[in-house]
């Protein structure tokens, strides 16, 4: 679930960057580092004849009606998964009322309560896909007149380490197509979902040390992050921190906790412990990391520990040619990234 976003860029800069219509400029919401559901957010919609423009909307969308009191009102939705967009409840909104939420980043929660801030590597705003409605019970021009919900999909790549769902992201090339008030073709939807996965694979994220969601929505809302690029360091030992992957403990966790009967059961290791259990766990964890991380450049140490192409790790480095030059090609790439090979200890 996406339960908090950061919109720290001046909305007027967003208007200029995306070449939006300048209507409603005096009614836009101020920037904030933590905006939670049921609060106002600037969204991008398309008006027939007026192009794309920013307007303030409330983050929660009531998708049903009370039906004259015969049935309870539907619960407001802050997220809706892609898999439900074809349901009657959302089909009309998906056809006529698609929107974009420009953000600088968003927050994801792990099951253990740890919060991560996710953002583009370039620092540019992200465009989250959403649906909106017009609340006819509100006066025209009021902030609550428009309500929206965020569309989510399965997480991809490294973000799988945090949670199962993340917001769908729309690239700039598809902005006009997404906002057009018409039904999208199956091909257009597929292209956008795939492009969203491509964008997600490039995102960076950091542990958040403190995030007070009850603080007033102002630009001064405190969000303290640690100084490391958690899970994205270039040095292997800093790359994936102490996170478990598919339930497998990292070498850091294994070293930090004693190998008791309780921890062995938690880690899926047979008891009593047998020789080599730590190495087997580490190998399983690194293999799982490579599956999630996808093709990447090895360090000099990793390359030196892999004498032949047949080693399973070479596939994780994107090596597809088993010819004699595969290792030399990798060495050139590593040299460009990490510098010359360090002298080996004699």
What pLDDT sits at residue 102?
95
Task: Tell me the HSE value of 306 on the side-chain side, using a 13 A CA sphere.
Answer: 21
Q: Which residues pair with 116 in a beta bridge?
A: 108, 207
Q: Collapse the DSSP code of 222 into the 3-class scheme (helix H, G, I; strand E, B; otherwise coil) and give the result.
A: coil
- Domains (range + CATH), the chain: 5-225 (3.90.1680.10), 237-294 (no CATH), 295-346 (no CATH)
Residue 149 neighbours by CB under 8 Å, 6+ apart: 59, 60, 61, 63, 77, 78, 79, 80, 130, 131, 132
Residue 129 neighbours by CB under 8 Å, 6+ apart: 98, 99, 100, 101, 150, 151, 167, 168, 169, 170, 178, 192, 196
Q: Which residue has the higher pLDDT, 35 or 294?
A: 35
Q: What is the mean pLDDT of residues 233-246?
A: 51
What pLDDT sits at residue 314?
61
DSSP for 105-147, please give it: EEEEE-TTS-EEEEE-TT-PPEEEEEEEEE-TTSPTTSGGGEE
For residue 65, pLDDT beyond 50: no
User: Given pLDDT bands bounded at 50, 70 and 90, which one contains residue 145?
Assistant: confident
Q: Which residue has the higher pLDDT, 40 or 304?
A: 40
Q: What is the mean pLDDT of residues 307-312?
A: 56
Q: Collapse the DSSP code of 5 into the 3-class scheme (helix H, G, I; strand E, B; otherwise coil) and give the result.
A: strand
Percent of the chain whose predicted confidence (pLDDT) is above 70: 71
Highest mean pLDDT among 85-89, 184-188, 220-224, 237-241: 184-188
* Model pLDDT for residues 66-94, shown as the tens digit of each residue: 333 333 445 788 999 998 888 888 888 89
Residue 63 neighbours by CB under 8 Å, 6+ apart: 74, 77, 89, 90, 93, 133, 149
What pLDDT sits at residue 215?
35
């Amino acid at each position: 679930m996406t339960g908090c976003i950061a919109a720290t860029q001046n909305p007027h800069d967003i208007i200029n960057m995306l070449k939006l219509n300048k209507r409603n400029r005096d009614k836009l919401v101020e920037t904030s580092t933590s905006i939670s559901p049921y609060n106002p957010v600037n969204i991008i919609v398309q008006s027939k004849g007026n192009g794309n423009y920013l307007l303030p909307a409330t983050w929660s969308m009531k998708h049903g009606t009370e039906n004259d009191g015969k049935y309870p009102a539907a619960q407001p939705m802050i997220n809706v998964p892609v898999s439900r967009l074809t349901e009657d409840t959302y089909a009309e909104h998906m056809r006529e009322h698609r929107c974009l939420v420009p953000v600088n980043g968003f927050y994801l929660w792990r099951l253990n309560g740890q919060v991560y801030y996710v953002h583009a590597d370039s620092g540019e705003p992200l465009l989250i896909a959403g649906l909106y409605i017009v609340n006819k019970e509100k006066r025209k021009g009021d902030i609550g007149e428009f309500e929206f919900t965020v569309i989510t999909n399965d997480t991809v790549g490294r973000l799988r380490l945090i949670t199962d769902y993340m917001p769908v992201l729309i690239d700039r090339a598809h902005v006009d197509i997404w906002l057009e008030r018409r039904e999208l073709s199956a091909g257009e939807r597929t292209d956008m979902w795939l492009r969203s996965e491509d964008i997600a694979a490039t995102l960076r994220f950091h542990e958040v040390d403190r995030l007070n969601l009850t603080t007033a929505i102002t630009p001064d809302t405190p969000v303290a992050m640690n100084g490391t690029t958690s899970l994205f360091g270039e040095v292997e030992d800093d790359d994936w921190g102490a996170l478990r992957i598919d339930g497998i403990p990292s070498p850091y966790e294994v070293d930090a906790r004693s190998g008791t009967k309780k921890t062995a059961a938690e880690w899926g290791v047979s008891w009593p412990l047998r020789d080599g259990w730590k190495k087997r766990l580490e190998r399983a964890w690194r293999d799982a990391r490579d599956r999630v991380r996808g093709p990447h450049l090895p360090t000099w140490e990793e390359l030196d520990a892999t004498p032949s192409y047949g080693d399973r790790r070479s596939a994780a480095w994107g090596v597809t040619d088993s010819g004699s030059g595969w290792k030399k090609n990798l060495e050139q790439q590593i040299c460009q990234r990490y510098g010359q090979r360090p002298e080996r200890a004699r």
